[in-house]
Structure formats: structure tokens, C-alpha cells
Amino acid sequence: MAANYENNPAIANFVEYLRIPSVQPNINYDDCITFLRKQANGLALAVKVYELVPRKPIVVITWPGKNPSLPSILLNSHMDVVPVFENSWTHPPFSGHIDKDGKIFARGAQDMKCVGIQYLEAIRKLQQSGVQLKRTLHVCFVPDEEIGGHDGMAKFVHTKEFKDLNVGFALDEGMANPNEEFILFNGERSIWQIHVHCTGQPGHGSLLLPNNAGEKLRYIIDKFMDMRTEQKKILESNPKLTIGDVTTINLTQIYGGVQSNVVPEKLTAVFDIRLAVTVNHEEFEKMINKWCNEAGEGISIEFEQRNPCVECTKLDATNPYWVAFKAAADELKLKLDCRIFPGGTDSRYVRDVGIPALGFSPMNNTPVLLHDHDEFLKADIFLKGIDIYVKLISSVANISKDDGLPEQMCSNCIYKLGIAYHFKQTCESADIRLRQYLGLRIPSKYNDASVATDPIVPTHTTIIRKCKCKLSEQKRNTNYKRKAEAEKLKRGPKPKPKQIHACYQCDKQFRCQAQLEMHVRTHTGDKPYVCMYCPRRFTQKHNLTIHVRIHTGEKPFQCEVCSKRFSAQGNLHAHLKIHTGQRDHVCNLCNKSFITSSELTRHMSKHRGIKNFKCDLCGAAYIHARDLKLHKLKKHQIVPQNPKMLNDGFNNSNNIDIIGIDVGKDPPISIKDVNHLIPHLTNEKPEPNMPAIPESNPSLLSYEHKSVKEIFHQYPGKVFDAHNCAVCGEGFDYITALAQHYLHRHKDHDTIQSKSYGLP
């Protein structure tokens, strides 16, 4: 079997390329250039070699298309491979050995000399079939990708030579997959490699010196490793996530010091960070700086590598290259697994200059062995990949300017297309009326003159009735006097027509397109903004920003009256009503007014008299969970888990010592009797003789809900109260609290039931 494969010309070219030891570091690329020139000559294609950095050549082989003015297709690969440890290999790593099973062993078999040869062999097959593509193909072989590509593609994309290639779309390397699916990458995480320098007081190793570098370094390391643990939990909790979907942090180096018995003046920790595509870079850097400030003085950050945030290539109808790629993949019946690349490839530099790029290597049913010992690729997988590239390259390279709209469109794009179509009709109709009014010729595209020459439509020349009107030969006057400027000024400028932004599903209208797009996500369920600390997702970036402040502790909004700080501006506005005395929320039963709607909701539950919160120790029942916690604190000496409520302990006497309670006073107060604590915590006074809700009021009666999902979709943003869990009977003030309880405690159950009030 091996001999048969060796006689295959494509396999022979692949093996010859693998036998060139272009291994990092200190590579001599001369043999690669000689080999690639020979391949280009065999295909009768032009080849150019650019050397932006000495001894770092970039080879570009070009196959011109029918229409060179169209943006071209870049087929990128790299010539260098990672180091090898020859003693760990079964066969010599640069031998290109083919065993009896057709496995081709060599460094670069998967990463990524295979792809470069597959590009060229696909072109050879297309040429042999007599095919010429519409768009030009540029097959690019770059240096030093394995060490970051800084002297290769990173520099090349900013040169005039690259701009002259007129690239519209790029294909680059992907990764093998042991399963049936073919992995496709449309984005990459941003690589940050940082050195955190910690300085402190030096001295003899026998002392316990304050303000030393080691203590500061430990604090910094703990912060980074804690976040690493959080990201690991997120990855493990969701089987749909891959390593590319989370932020990875690894401590890679620690250096500093002079000798073992001297406390050093400076210690440095190096971290390799791969930021997920959903992470806000500015916020992440703020968080690191915050950690450094907390650790103490004399800490600085040095970036060894800092990749920018690069937008992922769109996988929707707005990207015609993706539409063409997907259509070809579907025709080949390829199962695609779309992911974010976990490492870094040259695609990030191509995307950074605004060119859509996809990472794809046709290697399914293949173990992932890149950078590993005994790296191999089976010959049949390699040959099948050539046929796959023939189809994919033909599809993306035959897109024309006049191809029109893609066959598949999302509902949002269809809505926008409808707006554009109706606008075009309105413009054409207005143009016809204006031309008729002015007596101008109407373009032929507006009339149906073609019907008269249609052989299917019969011609009728029967005269039904003669026209009695006599046509005047006098030309129509098309000169009109302008209205006086004074009249125009008096009338004022013509008001601009109000642009309507309406939802295509529910017809709700918005003032601007951005608000409409955010609203559409409530129908589609799209939540593109993901928290870097926890699995929470959001439809709006603003909501994510506010949520992240829960993790970071940032409170940028400060009350000018009492200096209290808040994480969201809305919370500050609600707080200001305490100082102004503004009470907009009024009870329709007793006319008592409240500052916030949540206070009114809690008040209404007192009218109902429903006590859902029972003490598991003595059976006492309460309307609110807060009251139950205070009961347990007073009667059973069970301290609430909220750290803001209690900072210290209590004794076993009838009166509980509550020391250092955060009730908005500085310094914290000390209270002997817990009954005196209640007004401080709740800002409420007892409300005796609460009238009951009349049963005749249907808007306040109970309402049954089938599931958490239906509740949120039917009443978005609605505040519910008095909810009981149908499984264990525990009560909650809000539907969100019940939902969280239900999904975490009873996720095996499909439905819940709850009682709600204040619903129509």
C-alpha cells in the first residue's frame, strides 16, 4: 500500500516538501523557495518572492482569474515547523516515511505543509479540467508563523505589495479532528503575554521584611490563578464550549533575585493570556491595574505581546464568501464544526486589516498531532482533502459582482431587504409622476414595451372608438417661476419625514435603528455579550458593563448628597429620591406611596397576607425572605450569609450584639437589640391594620404559569412576587429568584407553578 501511495504525484510532492527541515529556530528557507519555484513552473504560474526581513522570504504563487479586477482569493500557509525531539519519534521526523497503513510521518504533516501542497494540487486538478476561475488565486507561503509571524504575515499585510494583491477573502490553516466533523475557525482569541514586575524592600533572608516583593507577587499570582479557576469552571460546566470560548491564563515564568539568602528587591511573574473574543480589552486591563494597585506600590506591567481585539469573520448572509463556502460544503455533505481557534495563526493579521478569513484544514477522522511526537497524516485523508479544496476554492473564487443576493438570508436581513425594496419602489413611482408632470420622457425600464414584441402575447389592432379631441402642436410650457424667497422663509423649512424603525415581528416602533436591533434580539434570543467571569450572557453591551461591575467592585456613580456610590446610573437616580422625598409609586388600596416599584411590590404582599417563608426550625411564617432571615438571626442566632449585613458575631444572651452593621452610616453603628436593627436595614415602619385585597379585583388574583421560559416571554421585564416552588414549596419574592432556584435545585422537572399578582 505504501508503494502505491509513493507513486502518486501529489503524495510525492507532499513527501518532498516534508523532507525539507525548515524547523525553528534559525531556519534557512532556500530549499523551500527552490521547491516552490519548481511547483510554480510545473503549473505554469508566476511566482514572486518578497523579503521584508532578511532571510525571511514570503513566496506568492499566482493563478490569474478571468476578471482580475475582482478582489482575489488568498490561500495562505506557512513554511516553518516547530522543533522536534528525534529520540521520541518512531520514524525520523523529516523522512516522510509511509507505513503499511498509509500514514505519512513527518514534522509538518498536519501543521501545515499538507495544506500548502493541497492548494497547489487542487489548482493542478482545476487546470487539467480546463477550468478558469473568475477571481485570481494567490497561494502564499510565509515564514515564522510558529513564533508569532511578526516578521512574516504581520508585516506583509501592511505593505504595498500585499495591497496590490487586492485580497477579498482568505483561507488559512485549521486543525485535525478525530471525529466525522471538519473544524472551521472564524476567529481567534487575542494573545497577551505580560511581565508583572514587583519591587519591594530587600534584605537578609532571616528577616520578615514588610513591603517585600514576594508578598506583592503572591497577591498578583493569586488573582490571576483565581480567574483561571473561574474560567475553567465555566468551560467544564458547559459541554458545548471549547477551549477557544473562554479566557485562558497560565503562569509561564517567575524570575528575579540574586542568591538564596537575600530577599530580592524585584521579582517578576510572566503570564500567557488568551482573551476570549467576548472580552472587553479595556475593562480587562483596568482589572489588572486594579489588582496591581491593591497589591501595593512599586508594581508595573510590561507587555511582551499584545494582540488587538479583532472582529471575527461573519458566518451569515452578509458575507458572500461564507455563503459560497457553506454551499460548497453542503454539496460535499461536509459536517462543519465552527469554533474560535484556541491558539494564534496568521489569520488574525489578515482579519485585522478588514479581510474575512476562515481557518480550515480538511482532516477529519484524524488524531490531533500538531507539535506532537510521531506527527502523521494518512495518505487517503490527504488526497481527499485535495478534492475538497477543488470544490471550495471553485465556489469562493467564482463569486461575481452581479451574483445578486444570496439564496439564504436570516429574518433580520429579509426585513432590511423589504425596507430597501419598498424604498426603491417609492423612488421609482415618484420619478415617473414627476416626469409625467414635467412632460419628460419616461425611461423604457418603467414601461412594458417588451410585451408588444412577446410572441406569446397576441397583437390586437381593432379600433374601438375614435378620439374626438384635436391634439395641439403647441409645445407644453415647462418653465415655472420660482416662488418668492420671502414666502419660503415665512413657510419655513420643510419638515423632514419621520423615519420609522419598526420590528418585523411585533410592529413595535423605535426611534433609531440601534434600538430596533437590540429589540430584535428579544425575539431571536441572541445574547452576544458574555461575562468574562461567569456564564451570564446579555443582549446589550451596556447591561454586560453594569454586570461586570459586580465582579470588579467598580462603582463610578456617586451621590452628591451622601457620597454613596453605585454601579449603575439607574440605581443612583432611585437613591436620589430618598433625599428628594419623591414617591411616585402609590398603593391603590391604602394610597401609601413608595420611592421604588419594588417597595410597592413588597408592600402589596402585606395586603395579601400570604406568608410563604417558613422557618425550618420553629415553623414561624413570614411574608418576605428578609423577615425570615431576621427571625433566624434573633431567635436562632443564625447569621445571614450576606457579608454586608454582619461584620462580627453575637453572644448567646436574649439580646444579640450586632456590631459594625452596614446601614449607610460611617462609622458602622453598634446595636444591642436586633429589633432596633430592622428600621435601619429596611427603612420601613410597621404598617398595622393592612386592608385585605378584595377578591372582586381580577387584576390582583392569582395567575398560573407553566414554565419559567413562558413567563419571561409573555411578561418581559415584569416583576412577580409570592412565587412558590411546585416541587419543594419554598417561596420567593421574584420570578427570577424562583427560576434560579428551580433550575439549580429541580432541573429534572419540566414545569413549575406559581402564584402571581398584579397581572391582567
The Cα–Cα gap between 584 and 596 comes to 7
The Cα–Cα gap between 380 and 102 comes to 7
At residue 290, the 3 state secondary structure works out as helix
Which of the 8 DSSP states describes residue 457? S
- State how far Cα 4 lies from the chain centre: 47
Residue linked to cell 407553566: 706
Catalytic residue, from 121, 144, 145, 245: name it. 145
Contact 203, 259 (CB under 8 A): no
Contact 502, 509 (CB under 8 A): yes
Any residues with CB less than 8 A from the CB of 567 and at least 6 apart, and which? Answer: 546, 549, 550, 554, 555, 556, 557
C-alpha cell at 293: 494597585
Longest C-alpha distance within the chain, in Å? 122
Long-range contacts of 575-578, Cβ-Cβ distance < 8 Å, separation of 24 or more: 578/683
Alpha helices in 129-187 (DSSP H): 153-156, 160-164
145 assigned to active site: yes
- State how far Cα 651 lies from the chain centre: 51
The Cα–Cα gap between 131 and 194 comes to 50
Long-range contacts of 90-95, Cβ-Cβ distance < 8 Å, separation of 24 or more: 90/374, 91/374, 93/375, 94/18, 94/19, 94/20, 94/21, 94/23, 95/19
The Cα–Cα gap between 655 and 745 comes to 35
| Residue 78 annotated in ligand binding | yes
| Residue 585 annotated in ligand binding | no
Any residues with CB less than 8 A from the CB of 555 and at least 6 apart, and which? Answer: 549, 565, 566, 567
The Cα–Cα gap between 228 and 222 comes to 10
| CA dist 35 → 30, 440, 709 (Å) | 9, 67, 61
Which of the 8 DSSP states describes residue 245? G
List 305's β-bridge partners, or say none.
193
Secondary structure E strands in 345-398: 357-360, 376-378
C-alpha cell at 753: 407553578
The Cα–Cα gap between 595 and 670 comes to 27
At residue 601, the 3 state secondary structure works out as helix
| CA dist 759 → 267, 606, 698 (Å) | 62, 17, 9
Contact 109, 376 (CB under 8 A): yes
748 assigned to active site: no
CA dihedral defined by 698, 700, 706, 707, rounded to 10 degrees?
150
| Residue 111 annotated in ligand binding | yes
Contact 23, 32 (CB under 8 A): no
The Cα–Cα gap between 23 and 144 comes to 10
Supply φ then ψ for residue 620, to 5 degrees: -60, 140
Cis peptide before 25 (omega within 30 of 0): yes
Q: ∠ at Cα 192 (187, 195), nearest 5°?
A: 170
C-alpha cell at 537: 450572557
Core vs surface per residue 55-73: b (16+ CB within 10 A) or e: ebbbbbbbbebeeeebbbb
Catalytic residue, from 80, 144, 172, 599: name it. 80
Give the residue from 61, 66, 73 showing the smallest Cα distance to 325: 73
Q: ∠ at Cα 47 (44, 53), nearest 5°?
A: 165
| Residue 662 annotated in ligand binding | no
| Residue 684 annotated in ligand binding | no
Residues annotated within the binding site are 78, 111, 146, 173, 371
**Residues with catalytic annotation?**
80, 145
Residues annotated within the binding site for Zn(2+) are 78, 111, 146, 173, 371
